[in-house]
Structure 1
Amino acid sequence: MLFALAWRNIWRQPRRTALSLISIVLASAITIFLLALQQGSYSAMKENVLSLLDGFAQVQPEGYADDPSLRKAIDEPDALAARLETLEAVTAAAPRALTYVILSNGPRSYGSAVIGVDPSIETKVSTLDASIKEGRYLKPGDDGVTVIGAGLARNLKLKVGDELTMLGAARDGSVAADIVTVVGVFATGAPEIDRQVIETPISRFQSIFAMEGEANMIAVKGRRLADIQNALPELRTIAEEEGLVLRNWTELEPALHDVIMLDASFSVLLYVSLVVVVVFIILNTLLMSVLERTREFGMLMAIGMRPSEIGAMVWLELLFLAGIGAGLGIAFGAGITAWVEGRGLVFSGAEALFSQWNMPSTLYPDLNWTTALAGPLAIACSIGLAGLVPYARVRRLEPVSAMRAA
């Protein structure tokens, strides 16, 4: 009976009910779209930044992250990379060697990181080859060549075809020197990469820096970052069996992780504020309804209905509003989000901003069960909890005083 009475009561004032439902529907739809866009942006940001150079995870010697020394090396990196690629989540594993050198072109000298890569595998892990703006990327069979960041090339006054002198220390402590030819200039949009990184074939690197077929890390890539995240236990087991450590994306890009967490924190405040505003709007509407119906409640108590039953009826009215509003909000919000997800949301004029994270200026929301349900359910549950206020108020009513209410 209470359900039937509550359902009938919410339609006694159709205009008030419609306005309340519109508030819940719009708030639910907004949270769905913003949360999906936010998650889609985070996923794109992480995958694009990591795909540029780091990979989705890396296997390294113990302590290499704190002290990246040539002496901390991986024996038989090709065999380990092949073993990692046997995992279903891993699409490619690329051995790399890295050290720091002085680069010179005539009187100009700059410090830089030089990375030795296998051109036949590296393009499956890194998208650096897609950032080449002059010349070409490394290819199998190359020897004595390098690709260089645009900022570094500008500082050293280098162009494609010029020779570049490298001077550093080999693994055995001897002086390592080489002259390489610039075959390509890349521009990633990330200043710390464009001004500080060059790449050369790993075979040449191993010869010059006395690495003897060893590498300093193995970069791992999957179809999606989520696939590698799910496979972290298996990857970590393989690394530990070889006496190595596995570093996931948060360890490889801590600054990116901090940026995402900071943005997520501010977003939570926005969502909480939106939920609170909607809850107070609906609660105020219901409290006004309770005040207007005080005499009606008094008459119901006079004919034998208990205050707790009346309070439950009022609470059910609010739950009906919350449930209907949340359901319509999910349908409306998910529909709009799915439509945008299929076409993308273009941010014209923001290309320079997005290029800092190696991202296109078109973002795609990520509509899934979490983004579709989290906001509407939070709103509905909050409204349901707020319904305890009118419920408690109605339970305190006395029949005589309630019937005398103006």
Structure 2
Amino acid sequence: MNLILRLAWRNIFRNGRRTFLTCLLLACSLIALVLTDGVMRGMMDLMVETTTRTFAGEAQAHKKGFRDSFDVDLYIEDISIVANKLEADVAIEAYTIRTMSGAMMSSADNMAGGLLWGVDGEREAKVSKLKEALVDGSYLTGKDNEILIGEELADLLSVELGDRIVVTLSQVDGGELSQALFRLSGIFKFGMREIDSSMIFINLAQSRKILGMEAGAHQVAFNFVNAKDAVDPESATIRSLSTGDIEAASWVDLQPQMSAMLAMVDFSLLIVGGILFLIASLGIINSMFMSIYERIYEFGVAMAIGTRPSQMVTLIMAEAFFLALLSIVGGMIVSYFLIDYFSVAGIPMGDMEFEGISIHNNIKTIFDISQFTVLPLSVVALTLVAAIYPALFTARIVPSEALHKSL
């Protein structure tokens, strides 16, 4: 076996140019696959962060049935039950309490329907990007009659800072109409049509007053210290909150289309990898056959003096293994530096939009240990599989026919 391995190592350098090109083909396939994996992981992380950290939060708690109907009568009456649990939970980074109701907004020039959110300005700034999204005016300070609306909605209502906006809605537990007058204090732009064109924000205390509730809330949104806790199906936080008539859910359940895309990442990578390695395998087979035809006279002599077909198969497979080994060493070195560079600089993709979510940031590649373990081993396995046919061809060489050939 040692002799065969030494012969295989020497044989791959008999034609250095061909060996270099074959290794380059395999290495480039590996680099492309590693970068594809890093970019896809980075893109999904960016989309999840944009979805959860923009406004929705990584998880939410509601009264049972609220998410199905968004009925304003389904609110958590004793919000302190949820708040106290979140305050004592070390896994929670921040939480915010919200009320939500459909409302009609009227200005001097126009009117429009939308969602009225009552929020605690200080807590909201720790969970969502409402404060960061302000493009004009001032943030909520807790005073009555403050209101924030989106840039698109401000254009529709033809209002500017300081203008009056009348909000009309139905109160809880009865549905009586309630009206309140506000002065536009701020305009925001999230880059998400759903928010910028239909959502308005007022202070939590005043929203409770016009909704006719004392101290309840429709939603508690919160973020985890470790974002991975949000995708844990056995999350202790989610289970502890889901008691009685209260239900809690992470973004995986709140955003099923996003979680479905995450489930498709590995499948998509498998398709990309299959295409890349199919092309690479054809190059390997071609290179191996060229090498075999150049040495067919030598193989004929070797088999004529007693070399067994199994030894010939082992020799060709060993040559393929060394080609793969050289390829993955070079490919992993280049891949590491590329992944490291783009994890900081990011890949500029321009403006993208998915499910109404506008993404402006560069996509930063994500490092994962599988990129430097599973993928390189896949290259070795592919190379060995591609070398089976040339190896079997070599084992079937007839010495008498091979000896008639000249170099």
The alignment's TM-score, normalised by the length of structure 2, stands at 0.90
Match of 2:395 in 1: 395
What is the alpha-carbon distance in structure 2 between the residues aligned to residue 401 and residue 243 of structure 1? 84
SS for the counterpart of 2:76 is: coil
Contact 2:284 2:386 (8 Å CA) reproduced: no
Following superposition of structure 1 onto structure 2, how do residues 7-406 of structure 1 map, counting pairs within 5 Å?
7-106=9-108, 108-139=110-141, 141-173=142-174, 174-223=176-225, 225-230=227-232, 233-257=235-259, 268-347=270-349, 350-351=350-351, 357-405=357-405
Contact 1:49 1:358 (8 Å CA) reproduced: no
Contact 1:40 1:365 (8 Å CA) reproduced: yes
Unaligned runs of 5+ in 2: none
Q: Which stretch shows the higher mean deviation, 224-233 or 58-67?
A: 224-233
Q: Percent sequence identity over matched residues?
A: 24
What is the alpha-carbon distance in structure 2 between the residues aligned to residue 34 and residue 259 of structure 1? 16
What is the alpha-carbon distance in structure 2 between the residues aligned to residue 298 and residue 68 of structure 1? 80
What is the alpha-carbon distance in structure 2 between the residues aligned to residue 357 and residue 377 of structure 1? 37
What is the alpha-carbon distance in structure 2 between the residues aligned to residue 219 and residue 291 of structure 1? 69
Q: Which stretch shows the higher mean deviation, 298-307 or 147-156?
A: 298-307
What is the alpha-carbon distance in structure 2 between the residues aligned to residue 261 and residue 203 of structure 1? 41
Q: Which amino acid aligns with 2:393?
A: R
Per-residue deviation, residues 309-366 of structure 1 (Å, max 9, x unmatched): 110110111111112201210111111221232333345xx34769964543433211
Q: CA shift at 1:57, angstroms?
A: 1.5
Q: Which stretch shows the higher mean deviation, 28-37 or 15-24?
A: 28-37
Structure 1's 162 and 372: CA in aligned 2 closer, same or farther, altered over 3 A?
farther
What is the alpha-carbon distance in structure 2 between the residues aligned to residue 258 and residue 355 of structure 1? 13
Unaligned runs of 5+ in 1: none
Q: Which amino acid aligns with 1:155?
A: L
What is the alpha-carbon distance in structure 1 between the residues aligned to residue 201 and residue 191 of structure 2? 17
What is the alpha-carbon distance in structure 2 between the residues aligned to residue 29 and residue 124 of structure 1? 39
Q: CA shift at 1:204, angstroms?
A: 1.3
CA root-mean-square deviation: 2.5
Contact 1:85 1:91 (8 Å CA) reproduced: no
What is the alpha-carbon distance in structure 2 between the residues aligned to residue 198 and residue 264 of structure 1? 39
What is the alpha-carbon distance in structure 1 between the residues aligned to residue 102 and residue 40 of structure 2? 37
Q: CA shift at 1:270, angstroms?
A: 3.4
What is the alpha-carbon distance in structure 1 between the residues aligned to residue 238 and residue 378 of structure 2? 36
Contact 1:52 1:358 (8 Å CA) reproduced: no
Q: Which stretch shows the higher mean deviation, 327-336 or 235-244?
A: 235-244
SS for the counterpart of 2:340 is: helix
Q: Which amino acid aligns with 2:165?
A: L
Q: Which stretch shows the higher mean deviation, 120-129 or 105-114?
A: 105-114
What is the alpha-carbon distance in structure 2 between the residues aligned to residue 352 and residue 292 of structure 1? 53
Contact 2:193 2:357 (8 Å CA) reproduced: no
SS for the counterpart of 2:74 is: coil
Structure 1's 6 and 88: CA in aligned 2 closer, same or farther, altered over 3 A?
farther
Match of 2:6 in 1: 4
Structure 1's 377 and 128: CA in aligned 2 closer, same or farther, altered over 3 A?
farther
Contact 2:62 2:219 (8 Å CA) reproduced: yes
SS for the counterpart of 2:394 is: helix
Per-residue deviation, residues 44-95 of structure 1 (Å, max 9, x unmatched): 1210232111011212222222211112222332441331343343201212
Q: Which amino acid aligns with 1:159?
A: E
SS for the counterpart of 1:327 is: helix
Contact 1:33 1:333 (8 Å CA) reproduced: yes
Q: Which amino acid aligns with 1:145?
A: E
Per-residue deviation, residues 147-168 of structure 1 (Å, max 9, x unmatched): 1111111111122112211112
What is the alpha-carbon distance in structure 1 between the residues aligned to residue 371 and residue 139 of structure 2? 40
What is the alpha-carbon distance in structure 2 between the residues aligned to residue 44 and residue 223 of structure 1? 17
Structure 1's 7 and 66: CA in aligned 2 closer, same or farther, altered over 3 A?
same
Q: Which amino acid aligns with 1:248?
A: S
What is the alpha-carbon distance in structure 1 between the residues aligned to residue 114 and residue 379 of structure 2? 52
Q: CA shift at 1:267, angstroms?
A: 5.7
SS for the counterpart of 2:106 is: strand
